[in-house]
Structure 1
């Protein structure tokens, strides 16, 4: 029930939400790139907060372990929460995708403007862990969007028989549990990579 094959099969049932999640994330990246100046104040506040946390972790007795624990707990908690917070009509997963995409777009653009080496930023700083972390977050948000869509349909098109609705919701809740488990596993792997390989490449 919780196998990786089951997880992949479940993804096929939320194809539209998965496509929408990808579109929202890419839109966020574009917004972050194009609106660098207008978004600078908002995004800088977030980045300054992360910078302060990074400095604190860097000064710990075991920086790699501290980074791993922080990254894993931060991402996995958000990854699971965003699925179930999607019940509020998918609004929060949509915002989460746009904001995270905008941060990446902003960082890449501001680095290009400042003449920094984009190879180091993208290939060393983003790809090693991002190749797992970003898809995991997009999948989590896709389940959240799908959750919101199901809630909206239940409220505004309550024509399906109660027994059928109950069975459908039972299947979907099992899917969210399977997704939560595998998203945490994927983010665990990403956290290991980010706190070791990415950490070593950028320090």
Structure 2
């Protein structure tokens, strides 16, 4: 039930949600790139908060261990929660994707404007861990969107569809359990990479 093969097979059943999640993440990146006004302030607040946390972690007795704990716990807890918070019609997973995409888009655009080295930012700062972390977050949000879609269909769908979907709930809840386990594992790997390889490359 918890095998990676089962997890991979489950992903094929939420293809539309995965595509939608990827589109929302990319849209967030575009919003971050062109962000002005209230959106820019929101992104800057997010970045300022992360900057303050990063400063505190660097000043700890064991910076790499502190970074690992924060990154892993922050990402894994949020990602698992976002699956089940998707029950509120998928609103929170959609917002989570837009914000995360916007932060990355804003950072890249800011680096371009300041004529910073994009190679360092993308290849050293994002790619080593992001190649695992970003897909894991998109998958978590996709399950959240799927959850929201099932709730919406259960409330507003036809009687026949409601009965059909009610029979599918046990399967979907098993899928969310399997997904939660593998998303945490993937984010554990990403956190190890980010707190070691990425940390060393950017030091």
Structures share fold, TM-score greater than 0.5: yes
Contact 1:36 1:106 in 2 (8 A): no
Distance 2:147 2:163 in 1: 19
Deviation of 1:124 after TM superposition, in Å, equals 0.2
Aligned to 1:105: 105
Distance 1:126 1:28 in 2: 16
Contact 1:90 1:149 in 2 (8 A): yes
Is the counterpart of residue 35 in structure 1 residue 35 in structure 2? Answer: yes
Structure 1: 5+ residue runs without aligned partners?
none
Q: Aligned residue for 1:53?
A: 53
Is 1:191 matched with 2:191? yes
What count of residue pairs does the alignment treat as equivalent?
Answer: 203
Moved more, 36-45 or 184-193: 36-45
Q: Structure 1 residues 107, 162: closer, same or farther in 2, change over 3 A?
A: closer
Gap change, CA 1:27 and 1:162, over 3 Å in 2: closer
- Tell me, yes or no, if the aligned pair for 2:90 and 2:146 is still in contact at 8 Å: yes
Q: Relative to 1, partners in 2 of residues 1:36 and 1:104: Cα closer, same or farther, differing over 3 Å? A: farther
Counterpart of 2:115 in structure 1 is 115
Deviation string 1:101-149 (CA, Å, 9 cap, x unpaired) is 0000000000110010000000000000000000000000000000000
Q: Is the 8 A contact 1:90 1:146 kept in 2?
A: yes
How far has the Cα of 1:160 moved from its partner?
3.2
TM-score of the two chains, using structure 1 as the length reference = 0.96
Indicate the residue corresponding to 1:144 in structure 2: 144
* 1:53-107 alpha-carbon deviations (Å, 9 max, x no partner): 1111101111000000000000000000000000000000000000100000000
TM-score by length of 2: 0.96
Q: 2 CA distance for matches of 1:153 and 1:35?
A: 34
Matched, 1:5 2:5: yes
Match of 2:84 in 1: 84
Coordinate RMSD, CA, aligned: 1.4
Between 1:163-172 and 1:114-123, the stretch displaced more is 163-172
Aligned residue for 1:139, secondary structure, equals helix
Give runs of aligned pairs for residues 58-77 of structure 1, distance below 5 A: 58-77=58-77
Alpha carbons 2:153, 2:162 under 8 Å: kept: no
Q: Does 1:172 align with 2:147?
A: no
